[in-house]
Copies of this chain bind each other. A is one copy, B any other.
Amino acid sequence: MSGRLAVLGAGAVGRSVVELAEEYDYTVTAVADSQSAAIDAKGLDPEAIFTRKDADGTVGDENPEAALDASYDVLVEATPTTLGDAEPGFAHVKAGLEHDRHVVLANKGPVAERYGDLMELVTASDGDIRFEATVGGAIPALSTIEDFGPGHITAARGVLNGTANFILTRMAAEGLDYEHVLAEAQDMGVAEADPTFDVEGTDAALKCVILANVLSQGEQEFALDDATVDGITNVPGAALDLAADDGRTVRLIGEASRDGIRVGPRLIPENSALAVSGTRNIVQLDTTHAGRLNISGRGAGGPETATAVLSDVGRLL
């Protein structure tokens, strides 16, 4: 199944999509970052693009917006997630759908913050959208919900942020405090210099908003304001010690259903399926007729997230 991709965003995910595309029999005809774009209807050479980007910070000679008018079958939106109006990601998706092209998102912003607007654009377009990469990286959560039918999933919950989970896992294993483990995670590149988005639960909440929007099938629209969110910054090391004495541990659990969204640290049994370790993620789906499904895997990372993007492309073409 061949096809042409325009990739917006040249961070870890966009770069991996471009680098892996050929292995999936896709041709990349445009790549853009916030500064520049490279466009070639016959197909771009990933190595040349990223050698240039590493050298001078640009991917090509064109303006970024030019990528939206390139020849492509699927637009891949992999620019950074922004909150509120979800721009410029939303404008990119809009342009793709208005060109009657398919769009695959790795950017959570448009799906979490402007789901209704997005669905209106889809309805008016010959193109469709998919966004598996926005929830749990490589974990096939949304595809499974789609295959089962959203009406046959009563609730979704899980560990949806690898940084927070890494910190809780290390705190429990080493008996260390939050601040100490955070500094260690920052040294290792697992946590960002400003970890707010991950440790305050915002990232997990956005994923739960997306899950809730998919589960409610447009009957109700959810956004970040609808979520009740607690992070892990106030979890004392002593709480993890006490939990361990009782065969339990603490995980930052996000929960989504048609009734709402909440994210917070929860006490769970150490042998629970939800007790994944380190940066791993898990999504647990409660089904109407098939019990509970658990799907765990790598929730972030360039090639991992790109794999979800390329699976979505395959479902669309």
Contact B307 A290, beta carbon cutoff 8 Å: yes
Q: Judge whether A273 is part of the interface by a CB distance below 8 angstroms.
A: yes
Residue interface mask A280-317, B partner, CB < 8 A = 1: 00000001011111111110010110111011001100
Residue from B140, B148, B273, B290 within 8 A of A147 (CB atoms):
B140
Pull 29 A–B residue pairs with CB atoms less than 8 Å apart, ordered by A. Answer: A16-B289, A23-B152, A24-B149, A137-B290, A138-B290, A138-B291, A139-B293, A140-B140, A140-B144, A143-B143, A143-B147, A144-B144, A147-B311, A147-B314, A148-B307, A149-B314, A273-B296, A289-B303, A289-B306, A289-B307, A290-B298, A290-B301, A290-B303, A290-B304, A290-B307, A291-B298, A293-B296, A294-B296, A294-B297
A109-163 residues with Cβ-Cβ distance < 8 A to B are: 137-140, 143-144, 147-149, 152
Which residues of A does B touch, CB under 8 Å?
A: 16, 20, 23-24, 137-140, 143-144, 147-149, 152, 271, 273, 287, 289-298, 301, 303-304, 306-308, 310-311, 314-315
Which residues of the other chain, B, contact A273 by a CB distance below 8 angstroms?
A: 296
User: Cβ of A294 and Cβ of B294 under 8 Å apart?
Assistant: yes
Instruction: Kindly state the separation between the CA atoms of A293 and B139 in the bound complex, as whole angstroms.
Output: 7
Q: How far is the CB of A310 from chain B (nearest CB, A)?
A: 8
Cβ-neighbour of A20 out of B23, B289, B292 (below 8 A): B289
Distance of A286 from chain B, by nearest CB (Å): 11
* Bound Cα distance A16, B290 (Å): 11
Bound: A291/B301 CA distance, A? 10
Provide the bound-state CA to CA distance between A23 and B23, in Å. 40
- Docked CA distance A152–B313 (Å): 15
The interface residues of chain B lying within 8 Å CB-to-CB of A314 are 147, 149
Name the CB-closest residue of B to A19.
Answer: B289
Please, which residues of chain B bring their CB within 8 A of the CB of A287? Answer: 138, 307
Q: How far is the CB of A317 from chain B (nearest CB, A)?
A: 12
The docked-state distance in angstroms from the alpha carbon of A107 to that of B24 is 31
Once bound together, how far apart are the Cα atoms of A252 and B148, in whole Å? 28
How many angstroms from the CA of A226 to the CA of B304 in the assembled complex?
33
Residues of B within 8 A of A306 (CB): 289
Chain B residues with CB below 8 A from A147, complex form = 140, 143, 311, 314-315
